[in-house]
């Protein structure tokens, strides 16, 4: 049986921020199973990571201001030690920001090498505008894209790994659409891997 595990933006962000291993899911995909991800998830991941960068840059700026302030407090005996530690913390924090960016790029390279990249044709975009299956517009477009692709693969066993499983289950219409397309929701990484292993072809 053909097995399809759909991914969405939060998987990419999970890899970027260190919640998942870069090649953990790719390395755990059994023979006969395929990963798939809508193309718009990559752009959404870039935008979300920029928000993470902005938040972390503000923290670095706060550390810089604190260091500058402490350097004026010349006669406190612990100032030199604290300034040194804060500078070290700021440096490590800046390197961590770079790590997030690089992990996202690595995740995209890994996925594009092995996964099905699901396109969003104009009619899917229009369908997402006209029918709200999920509250967030980006989630709604992702859901419509996955449902279209799932409908084009009726014989496959299909599941979606998403940290937004609760949001996708909120509306009766989304639950009905997922059920009609044969797509099971998994909110946890380990349960999605177990599903692939249990659903895919068994070794002879």
168 within domain boundaries = yes
pTM of full prediction above 0.75: yes
In whole angstroms, give the CA distance from residue 180 to residue 57. 45
pLDDT of residue 167: 81
64 within domain boundaries = no
96 within domain boundaries = no
The most confident of 58-67, 157-166, 194-203, by mean pLDDT: 157-166
The DSSP element (H or E) to which 93 belongs, if any, is helix 79-114
74 within domain boundaries = no
Which comes out higher in pLDDT, residue 155 or 165?
A: 155
Domain carrying residue 109: 3-52+105-199
Model confidence over 91-148: pLDDT tens digits? Answer: 777 777 788 888 899 999 989 989 999 999 999 999 999 999 998 999 999 999 999 9
pLDDT of residue 200: 62
CATH number of the domain residue 118 falls in: 3.40.50.1010
Model confidence over 3-56: pLDDT tens digits? Answer: 999 999 999 999 988 888 877 788 888 888 899 999 999 999 998 888 777 777
Residue 195 contacts residue 41 (beta carbons within 8 Å):
no
Q: Using the predicted structure, report yes or no on whether residue 176 has a pLDDT greater than 80.
A: yes
User: 145-161 burial, b if ≥16 CB within 10 A, otherwise e?
Assistant: bbbbbbeebeebbbbbb
79 within domain boundaries = no
User: 40-73 burial, b if ≥16 CB within 10 A, otherwise e?
Assistant: bbbebbbebbeebeeeeeeeeeebeeebeebeee
Q: Using the predicted structure, report yes or no on whether residue 152 has a pLDDT greater than 90.
A: yes
Domains in the chain: how many in total? 1
pLDDT of residue 104: 92
Q: What is the mean pLDDT of residues 161-177?
A: 87
167 within domain boundaries = yes
140 within domain boundaries = yes
Q: Which residues of the chain form beta strands (DSSP E)?
A: 3-6, 33-38, 116-118, 157-161, 183-186
Q: Using the predicted structure, report yes or no on whether residue 171 has a pLDDT greater than 70.
A: yes
Q: Grade residue 84 by pLDDT with cuts at 50, 70 and 90.
A: confident
97 within domain boundaries = no
Residue 186 contacts residue 159 (beta carbons within 8 Å):
yes
Q: Token pair for residue 115? A: 């996964």
């Amino acid at each position: 049986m053909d097995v399809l595990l759909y991914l969405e933006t939060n998987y990419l962000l999970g890899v970027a921020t260190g919640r998942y291993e870069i090649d953990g899911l790719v390395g755990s995909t059994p023979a006969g199973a395929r990963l798939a991800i809508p193309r718009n998830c990559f752009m959404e991941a870039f935008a979300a990571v920029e928000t993470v960068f902005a938040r972390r840059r503000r923290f670095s700026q706060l550390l810089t201001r604190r260091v500058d302030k402490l350097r004026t407090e010349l006669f406190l005996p612990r100032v030199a030690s604290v300034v040194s530690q804060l500078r070290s913390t700021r440096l490590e924090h800046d390197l961590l920001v770079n790590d997030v960016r690089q992990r996202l790029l690595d995740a995209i390279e890994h996925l594009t090498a092995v996964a099905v990249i699901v396109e969003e044709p104009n009619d899917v975009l229009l369908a997402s505008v006209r029918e709200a299956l999920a509250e967030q517009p980006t989630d709604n477009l992702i859901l419509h894209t996955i449902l279209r692709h799932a409908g084009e693969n009726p014989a496959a066993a299909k599941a979606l790994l998403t940290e937004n499983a609760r949001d996708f289950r909120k509306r009766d219409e989304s639950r009905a659409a997922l059920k009609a397309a044969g797509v099971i929701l998994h909110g946890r990484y380990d349960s999605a891997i177990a599903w692939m292993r249990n659903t895919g072809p068994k070794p002879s």
